Amino acid sequence: MLIFTKMKKNLERTVTLPEGVSFHMQGHMVTLSSGAKKISKKFDLRGISVKHEGHRILLSLQKATKRESKILGTAWAHLNNMVAGLSQDYVYKLEVCNVHFPMNVKVEGSVVVIKSFLGEVIPRSAKILPGVKVEIKGSEIIVSSPDVEAAGQTSANLEKATRVTKRDRRVFQDGIFIKEKPGRQL
- The reply to whether 109 and 152 lie within a common domain is yes
Do residues 62 and 75 touch, judged by C-beta distance below 8 A? no
- The reply to whether 125 and 177 lie within a common domain is yes
Task: State residue 6's pLDDT score.
Answer: 64
- Residue 1 domain-assigned (yes or no): no
Task: State residue 68's pLDDT score.
Answer: 86
Q: Which domain holds residue 21?
A: 9-87
Domain boundary among 87, 119, 152: 87
Task: State residue 186's pLDDT score.
Answer: 62
pLDDT tens, per residue, the chain with 186 residues: 556 556 677 889 999 999 999 999 998 899 999 988 999 999 988 788 999 998 999 999 888 888 888 899 999 999 999 999 999 999 999 999 998 789 999 999 999 999 999 888 999 999 999 999 999 999 999 999 999 999 999 999 999 999 988 888 788 889 999 999 997 766
Domain boundary among 60, 87, 114: 87
Helix (H, G, I), strand (E, B) or coil at 69: helix
- The reply to whether 94 and 145 lie within a common domain is yes
Domain boundary among 26, 58, 87: 87
Spatial distance between the Cα atoms of 39 and 15, rounded to a whole number of angstroms: 15
pTM confidence score: 0.86
- Residue 109 domain-assigned (yes or no): yes
- The reply to whether 18 and 50 lie within a common domain is yes
Burial 120-152 (b: 16+ CB within 10 A, else e): eeebbebebbebbebeeeeeebebbbbbbbbbb
The domain that contains 171 carries what CATH number? 3.90.930.12
- The reply to whether 116 and 70 lie within a common domain is no
- Residue 2 domain-assigned (yes or no): no
- Residue 4 domain-assigned (yes or no): no
- Residue 145 domain-assigned (yes or no): yes
Task: State residue 167's pLDDT score.
Answer: 82
Spatial distance between the Cα atoms of 94 and 27, rounded to a whole number of angstroms: 37
What's the domain count of the chain? 2
- Residue 96 domain-assigned (yes or no): yes
- The reply to whether 77 and 122 lie within a common domain is no
